A and B are shown apart, each in its own frame.
Chain A
Amino acid sequence: MGNLKIDKLTKRFGGLVAIDSLDFEVEEGQVYGLIGPNGAGKSTVFNCVSGFYQLDAGEITFDNNRLTTLKSHEIIRKGIARTFQNVELFKNMTILENLMVGQHINFKTGLFRHALRTKKVRLEEDEARAKASATLELLGIGGIENTYYASHPYGVQKKVEMARALVSNPKLLLLDEPAAGMNPQETKEIAELIKWLNEEKGITVLLVEHDMSLVMGICDQITVINFGKKIAEGTPREIQNNPVVIEAYLGKEEANA
C-alpha cells in the first residue's frame, strides 16, 4: 500500500527538540492535514520526509520503502513531490523551464544525446513542454510559460510551485502552506483543486496549512502537533471539538496578545 508512515520520528537542532517521537500514518488516497501553531515542527517533518534532514531517531517509510536511507534527490523517484513554505522557484529560469526541471526524472536521454540534440531528445522536450503548459492551464494560470516567477503575485507563485511538483506525476504530494498569501477566493480554488487532484487523479496529499477553513474542508484525517509532539489526531470534526487543540491555539493567541 502507498502509505506514508512516520514512526517515532525525532529531530533535534542543537539543544532544541524540534520533533519529539512523532507517529502518524497517511493512508493511500487520503488528504491528510498536519497542523499546529507556528514553530510546532510541521516544515521540519516535510524536510525529514524529503531527506533534507538526518533523523536523530525514528523511521519514515513510503510504500514499505525506507526513505531514511535515500538521498534527497532520490525521494521524488519514489513518487513523493513537494512544495516549499517559502517559494523556492528557480529565479533566473522561465516558468516553463521551472516546470521542465519538475519533470527531470521523467526524461530518459543523457548528456551525449543532449549534446547532439537528437530527434529523441526533441520529442521528449516537446512532450514535456506540452505537459507543462497543460498543467499551468489546469491550475488556471495558463499562458505564463515564458515569464519569470518574480513578476507574478505570491498566489500565482504558489500555484507555479504546485504545478512544478505535479508534473513529475507524484503518488504523494506534500504541500507546505499552499494557500499562504492567497485571498479567500483563491483559497477556495486551491481547496477545490486539491480535492480534484485527490479524487480524480488519485494523488495522496499531506497538507500543512494555517487556513482552518481549508484544512477542515478537505482533510480526511488530521494530526495536530505542538512543540514537535502530537497533541491530537482525528477527523476534522473531532479536532475542532478537542479541548487540547483549542487550548494550544488559544494559548498561542494569548501569548501573542
Chain B
Amino acid sequence: MSNLKKLTDQHKKMLIIGILCILLPPILTSLGLLQGYFQYIINITGVYMIVAVGLNLLLGYTGQISIGHAAFLAIGAFTSALLVMKLGINFWIAVPLAGLVSAVIGMILGLPALRLHGHYLAIATLGFGVAITQIMSNMELFGGYSGLMPPGPTVFGQEVWLDYNLFGHFISGDLVKYYVVLIFVGLTFLVAANIIKTRTGRAFMAIRDSEIAAMAMGVNISKYKVISFGLSAFFTGIAGGLFGHIVGFISPTDFHLGLSLNFFAMIVIGGMGSLRGAVYGAIFMNIIPELFSGVQHLPTVLMGAAIILVTLFLPGGIVTLESKTLMIFRKLKGQLSKRSVG
C-alpha cells in the first residue's frame, strides 16, 4: 500500500494501461466481441508498434530518414526462423538474437548513410531495402519464393501456440500469441522511453535539431547516427522475429517496398518524435483498413483518403489530438462550473 502511494501519476497511468492490455482481450472474447481474425490483426499491430518505435528513434528522434525498414523486419524474421529451425535454438533466445543480427546490419548501413542527407538518404535506404529482399529471394537458405514456416515457441518443450480450455473458458492460440507480443511491446516501450530520457536520446535529438550545435557540445555525430541506425534495426529485427513465428509462414517477397512505406507512414501519421505517436500510427495503419474491409474494393481508397485527411488537418500527427482533446475537456469543464455557479 505504501508502495502504491509512492507511484507518480505517470506510473499510475502506465499501470492502468498495462492492466487494460492484459484484461481487455479475454473479456472482449468471452463477450463475443473479439473474433479470431481480429485478434490476429491486433497481434500484428503489436508487432508493428515495435517497428514504429524503432523507426521513430531513427526518423523522429535522430532526424534520419529510412524507407527500407521492411528489410530489417525480413532480416529479423529469417534469422529467428533459421535459428529455431536449423539450430534448434529456443524462441525466447532466437528473437533477441535476431534483433542483434539486425542491429549489426543496421550499423553497417549507418556507415555509408553518414555521408547522406535528406532525399539521398531516403533513396539509399530504399535501395538497401529492395536489394536485401531481392538477394534473399534468390538464396536457397531462405526458402526462395516458397519461403519458410517458423514454428511457435515452446516452454519446457511444450508448444504454447495452442487453444486452451481454462475452467470452461476458451483461450485461443491467437490470444496466447497476443500475450507473447505484449511482453515484447512492453519491454520495447520501457527501453525506448529510458533511452530518450537520457544522454543517448538527447544526443539523437540534438543531431536532429542542429548538427553544428550538437558537435560544439561534444556530440560525436557519426557515432550517434550509427547507434541510432543500430537501435532502430534492433527493435525492427525483434519485431521481425516475432512476426515470423506468429504468422507461421514467411517469404522474402512479403517484405516489399510497400511495407517499408507503410512503416514510414505510421511515423508521420502517428507523430514524429513521440513514442505514443508510434502507437497511434501502428493502430491507424493496421486497424482502420480492417474497419473498411467490408466495403468491396474501397478499403485502399478510403485508407488513402484517411491518410490525406490526417496529414492535412493534423500536421504533427495523431498524437497532437491528445492536447487538443484535453483543451476541449478543460473548456467544457470550465463552462459547466460557470453554469453551476450561475
CA distance A134 to B253 in the complex (A): 57
Majority-rule SS of B interface residues: helix
Whether A92 contacts B200 by the Cβ 8 Å rule is: no
- Enumerate chain A residues within 8 angstroms of B218, measured Cβ to Cβ: 73-77, 104-105, 168
Whether A97 contacts B191 by the Cβ 8 Å rule is: no
Task: Select which of A50, A71, A73, A97 is within 8 A of B202 by beta carbon.
Answer: A97
Interface size on A, residues (CB 8 A): 37
B227's nearest neighbour on chain A, judged by CB, is A111
B336 CB-CB contact with A under 8 Å = no
CA distance A194 to B226 in the complex (A): 38
B206's nearest neighbour on chain A, judged by CB, is A101
- Enumerate chain B residues within 8 angstroms of A91, measured Cβ to Cβ: 209-210
Whether A50 contacts B216 by the Cβ 8 Å rule is: yes
Whether A52 contacts B198 by the Cβ 8 Å rule is: no
- Enumerate chain B residues within 8 angstroms of A97, measured Cβ to Cβ: 202, 205
Q: Given A90-B210, A92-B208, are A100 and B202 also a contact pair (CB < 8 Å)? A: yes
- Contact indicator per residue, chain B 199-222, by CB within 8 Å of chain A (1) or not (0): 111110110111011111111110
A51's nearest neighbour on chain B, judged by CB, is B215
Q: Which residues of A103-121 are within 8 A (CB) of B? A: 104-105, 107, 109-111, 114-117, 121
A159 CB-CB contact with B under 8 Å = no
CA distance A81 to B213 in the complex (A): 11
A88 CB-CB contact with B under 8 Å = yes
CA distance A114 to B194 in the complex (A): 6
Q: Given A76-B218, A77-B218, A92-B209, are A101 and B273 also a contact pair (CB < 8 Å)? A: no
- Enumerate chain B residues within 8 angstroms of A238, measured Cβ to Cβ: none
Q: How far is the CB of B222 from chain A (nearest CB, A)?
A: 9
CA distance A69 to B216 in the complex (A): 16
Q: How far is the CB of B199 from chain A (nearest CB, A)?
A: 5
Whether B219 contacts A101 by the Cβ 8 Å rule is: yes
Q: Which residues of B214-248 are within 8 A (CB) of A? A: 214-221, 227
B195 CB-CB contact with A under 8 Å = yes
Whether B199 contacts A104 by the Cβ 8 Å rule is: yes
B272's nearest neighbour on chain A, judged by CB, is A92
A89 CB-CB contact with B under 8 Å = yes
A82 CB-CB contact with B under 8 Å = yes
Whether B195 contacts A115 by the Cβ 8 Å rule is: yes
- Enumerate chain B residues within 8 angstroms of A107, measured Cβ to Cβ: 199
Whether A121 contacts B219 by the Cβ 8 Å rule is: no
- Enumerate chain A residues within 8 angstroms of B206, measured Cβ to Cβ: 90, 93, 101, 104
B6 CB-CB contact with A under 8 Å = no
Q: How far is the CB of B114 from chain A (nearest CB, A)?
A: 13
B197 CB-CB contact with A under 8 Å = yes
Whether A168 contacts B217 by the Cβ 8 Å rule is: yes
- Enumerate chain A residues within 8 angstroms of B199, measured Cβ to Cβ: 100, 104, 107, 109, 114
Whether B216 contacts A81 by the Cβ 8 Å rule is: yes
Whether B219 contacts A73 by the Cβ 8 Å rule is: yes
Q: How far is the CB of A162 from chain B (nearest CB, A)?
A: 13
Give 30 pairs: A residue, B residue, CB < 8 Å, sorted on A.
A50-B215, A50-B216, A51-B215, A71-B220, A73-B214, A76-B217, A81-B216, A82-B216, A84-B216, A88-B212, A88-B216, A90-B206, A90-B214, A91-B209, A92-B273, A93-B206, A97-B205, A102-B217, A104-B202, A105-B217, A114-B194, A114-B195, A114-B198, A115-B191, A115-B194, A116-B191, A116-B194, A117-B194, A117-B198, A168-B217
Chain B residues packing against A (C-beta within 8 Å): 191, 194-195, 197-203, 205-206, 208-210, 212-221, 227, 273
